[in-house]
Each structure stands twice: as structure tokens, then as C-alpha cells.
Structure 1
Amino acid sequence: MKTYSASPLALVRSLVANQGLILSLAHREAVGRYKGSILGIFWSLLTPLLMLAVYTFVFSEVFKARWNGGSNSKTEFAIVLFAGMIIFNLFAECIGKAPSIILSNANFVKKVIFPLEILPCVNLLSALFHAGVSMAILLVFELVEAGSVPATVWQIPLVLLPLSALILGLSWWLAATSVYLRDVGQTIGILITALMFLSPVFFPVSSLPPSWQTVAHLNPLSFPIEQARNVLVWGQSISWWGLCLYTLVTFAVAWIGFAWFQKARKGFADVL
């Protein structure tokens, strides 16, 4: 039986060697969801616009809400909320699909030469494309509303890099595990919904009691959501110490997830 290396170097070699295939599949995945629709790819632009409009109406008109310490602008809460939702949706889209990655591509499992480990990367790139469109909409909205965008916007890739590593690690683990344990796919949707309300999407961590702030910071989405708001909305620089720590943890998660995927993939063909 063929053995698959689980070393980080093997992962890097695979990603580099198959970058053309990854980009091609990611492009197909990103635009494939709009196939047959009248507006086509423009849905990727229309969807975040509609979301931003809904957030603005609901929170500025219905709930009369504003962010802690913010101004009384009717659109401020919607902008801050939308920034958090972009990060959460990126995570949720990838993790929600992860359990079915191998199950829905069983034909690739039979092909010994196909690099199955790239499938989570395809999903991630597709999700990043839609997140990028949403961020562009957010920045245009800020430009119209405030007349400028934060100078710290350039730091957003530094927030997305370790988050992407976390997503890949969890995706590899979920994709491999769900082949043997189909219940994973049934429970992941519930867990993602619960995580949305437990993450600082609708509230800042600073609004919690001190004892709960420590617990909130253990949430793997708290750091990227808070930092994305800092660089996209508030114009504050990234917490560099926090970024270093978060990057170390998420890259470790990525390697563990990849190692489990490589170990488990030997039995995929037999199970499927």
C-alpha cells in the first residue's frame, strides 16, 4: 500500500507542484455556483451589497444599535458588523463544505495520481475570492460614508494568512474523518451556527466581563475578527505579538490536520 508523507515539506511541494491545478479548480468552484443564473458572477457583487443594506436597516433603524464607544452614525454598526461577518463567512463556507470534500469527489479517490490534499485549498481560494469582493464593497461603502479608508487596510492579508492555515488544518481533518464517520457532516452545521453567536461578530470582546473575555479569546475566530475590524474599520494596527502567537498555533493546527489526512487517505478507496 502506498504511503503518503505528512511532513510540512511534502505539503509545500504538493502545493507548488499543483498550483496550476489548484487555481483552475478554484476558478471553476468560484464561478460554478452561478452557472445558469442570469446575473452570473455579478451575484458575488450583489450578495454582499444586499447583506450590507440589510445590516444597515436592521441595526440602525430597527434596533437603534451602535458599537461600544462609536458614533451615532446609522451605518457604523452595519459596517463593523459586516467586517466581522466577512471573516466568519470565510471560515463557515470552508468548514461547512469540508466534511463532504472527499465524499463528493469519490471519483478522484480512485485516481492514484490525483493530489487529494489540494481539495481543501480549492475551497479556500474560492471562499477567499468572495471574501475579497465583500471587503471591496465594505471599503467602497466606508469611502462614501467617511470620505476615506483606513491606512491600515494593507495589513488585512496578514490577518487572513494564519486564518487560512487554521481553515486548511480543520478542513483536512474534517474531510478525512467524515469518510469514516459520516455523523461529522450532520453536526458541523450546528456547530458553525453556535460558533457564530459565540464569536465576537455581534459584539466586541471588550464588552464582556473580564472573566469571560479570557474565555472569548480562546475562540479561534476572536483574534481574526477583532483584528480585521481594527485594520478595515478602526484604522488600528495589528497586534503583532498576538499575530505571532496566533500564527504559530494555526500553522501547528494546519500541520496536524494535514498529517491526519495523509494517514487516513490510505483507506479512502476501501471505504468509498
Structure 2
Amino acid sequence: MSEVQAGWSKSNPISALTRHRSLTRELTKREILGRYRGASFGLLWSLISPFLMLLVYTLAFGYILKSRWPGTNGSTSDFALILFVGLIVHGFFAECLTRAPNLILANTNYVKRVVFPLDILVWSMVLSAFFHLIANTLVLVLLKWAWHGELSWTLLLLPFVYLPLMILTLAVGWVISALGVYLRDISQFVGVLAAAMLFLSSAIVPVKSLPESYRWVFYANPLTFIIDQAREVAIWGRPPDWAMLGLYSLISALLALASFLLFQKMRKGFADVL
């Protein structure tokens, strides 16, 4: 790890992708492979798991509750695809949100090393979750092709929709992981928050079908916009709202910068607490 000798004080929000990219790559690889270590199917579970998750939700909402999405032909396959987009976007954010409080606590050996850039741990967590987001998206594309027999070129725009959410997740990761060192109870709260962000977003419920007095709660959820835009390009074959996507990206970038600076300030006391 000679590349970190420059010291954490010289780090910046993207140093994980520049000066420390090899370290980030190794930590991310360890995160991904560590999840499936000892499993018979190994990395195949990254494709099997989302497919099984889709079956459960489709059975519950599509067949048992007979839910249908406005603007579709009412088929269960269409509903399943629309639902799946919401689930994979939420799953990416929720994985990072629930892991963040214990991220530093689980790597106390790095805290004692003054020269180790702890902010990279958040990058590796987010990149690992992003790998699974891509795996889930691959399952989505395969199912859409199998059921509809065609794919839209707008699927190529999905990375541009995912990127702002990734930046926002980094911001949340830096704040929550730092707070988790000082406030151990926060890990209990984020689990409830993650569930709330699923049911109070457009992942499962079309916002336009709700009374207007409740819609603001769903639109205030930062996942709702990304889910809607992901459906635009993946399901409906339309380009995203570039203007709003740009604004979302700008706000996320500013939050990420502020969160990174807060993380760097708070990390000075990590060793005393741990």
C-alpha cells in the first residue's frame, strides 16, 4: 500500500479513482468476492439473487394482490419489469445505507494507520454495490428481451441515470459511516429508513395514482426521480429528463463534497473513540 504514503490529509473526493485507484480496485474486488466466498455458485449468485427477488415480489404483488401499473396493457410481465427497476435502484442505495454505520467499525485496523485514506472504504462499498446494480440490470435486460423480443437503444443511457445516484450514495456513505463511529444506535435507525424509502418511493406505487396531498412525500424521496428516469430509458424507451438529471447531479456533487469534508474532519477523532 505504498501509494497511500502521501497521507490522508491530501485526499480529495475522487482520489480513490486517481491516486489510490489500485487500492480502491483491490478493496472493491475483496468486497465482491468476499460476499460469495464458500458459495457453490460463486458470482453466479449476483444474477440468481435478483431473479429470485423478482419472482417473490411478482408473486406477491402481481398474482396475489393483482397489482397493475397505469399505462400498460395489464400484463404481469410488464408489471414485473416496472417493479424490478424500482427494486434494483432501491437495493443499490439501501445496501450502502445499511452497511455504512458499521463500515469504519468493521475496519478498525485501518483507523490506526494515519496514512491510510479511510474515505476509500466508502468508495469500495459503493462500487461493490454498483457491481450488483449492474448485475441486476443485466437480468432486467435479459428478461425484457425474453418477454418483449426487442430492446430499446435508450438502455445505453442507464449509466447516465445511475451516476447521479452513485454520487449521492457516496455523500450518504461518508456522513453515515462517520456518524456510526460516534453514534452506535444509528445502525438501528438506517434499517427502518431503508424500508421507508422503498415504500415511500415510486418503486412499488405509481405516484400519480396517489392523492395529491401525499405525493410530495414520495417526490421528496431522492430515489423516486432516479427510479422514474430509469424506467423511462429501460421500459418506455424514452430519453431521460436531462435538465433535471443535471440538476440532480449538481446537488449530489455538492452534497458529496460537503460530506467528504465532514468525514475528513470527523475522522480525526476515530482513533480516540475506537
TM-score range, shorter chain: over 0.9
In structure 1, the residue matched to 2:198 is 196
Residue deviations 1:27-57, cap 9 Å, x none? 1111111111211111111111112222333
Distance 1:178 1:54 in 2: 32
1:3 Cα shift? 8.3
Q: Which secondary structure state, in structure 1, belongs to the residue aligned with residue 9 of structure 2?
A: coil
Write the distance in 2 (CA, Å) between the matches of 1:252 and 1:29. Answer: 27
TM-score (norm 1): 0.94
Contact kept? 1:150, 1:232, Cα under 8 Å: yes
Cα offset, 1:139, TM superposition? 0.7
1:17, distance to aligned residue in structure 2 (A): 0.6
Q: For residues 9 and 114 of structure 2, what CA distance do their matches in structure 1 show?
A: 11
Aligned partner of 2:132 among 127, 130, 133: 130
The amino acid across from 2:64 in the alignment is V
Paired with 1:237 and 1:230, the residues of 2 have a C-alpha distance of 7
1:120 corresponds to which of 114, 119, 122? 122
Where in structure 2 are there 5+ consecutive unaligned residues?
1-6
Instruction: Within 5 Å, give how 1:20-99 maps onto structure 2.
Output: 20-99=22-101
Q: Deviations over 1:130-172 (max 9, x none)?
A: 1111111111111011111222111111111110111000110
Asked if the contact 1:84/1:200 (under 8 Å) is kept, the reply is yes
Partner of 2:162: 160
Give the unaligned 5+ runs of structure 1: none
Question: Counterpart of 1:94 in structure 2: which amino acid?
Answer: C
1:168–1:254: 8 Å Cα contact kept in structure 2? Answer: yes
Normalised TM-score (structure 2): 0.93
**Which letter does structure 2 place at the counterpart of 1:194?**
A
- Change beyond 3 A, Cα 1:14–1:37: closer
Compared with structure 1, are the counterparts of its residues 267 and 77 closer, same or farther at alpha carbon in structure 2 (3 Å cutoff)? Answer: same
Q: Does 1:4 align with 2:9?
A: yes
Cα deviation digits, residues 71-127 of structure 1 (max 9, x gap): 121211111001100000000001110011111100000112211011011011111
Out of 85-94 and 109-118, give the one that drifted further: 109-118
Distance 1:58 1:186, change over 3 A: closer
Match 2:238 to one of 231, 236, 239: 236
State the Cα distance separating 1:5 from its structure 2 match.
Answer: 5.8
What residue identity is the alignment partner of 1:200? S
Across the aligned residues of Structure 1 and Structure 2, the Cα RMSD in angstroms comes to 1.6
CA distance in 2, matches of 1:243, 1:40: 36
User: 2:92·2:133 contact (CA, 8 Å) conserved in 1?
Assistant: yes
Match of 1:227 among 226, 229, 236: 229
3-state DSSP class of the match of 1:217? helix
The 3-state SS of whatever aligns with 1:11 is: coil
Q: How far apart, in 2, do the equivalents of 1:151 and 1:14 lie?
A: 32
Provide the residue aligned with 2:3 in structure 1.
none
Give the number of equivalent residue pairs. Answer: 268
Tell me which moved more, 101-110 or 57-66: 57-66
Moved more, 53-62 or 151-160: 53-62
CA contact (8 A) 1:3 1:266 kept: no
- State the alpha-carbon separation in 1 of the partners of residues 178 and 120 from structure 2: 13
Residues 15, 21 of structure 2: 8 Å contact kept: no
Equivalent runs, 1:159-178 vs 2, <5 Å: 159-178=161-180
Aligned residue number for residue 186 of structure 2: 184
Distance in 1 separating the partners of 2:168 and 2:51? 28
Counterpart contact for 1:199–1:221, Cα < 8 Å: yes
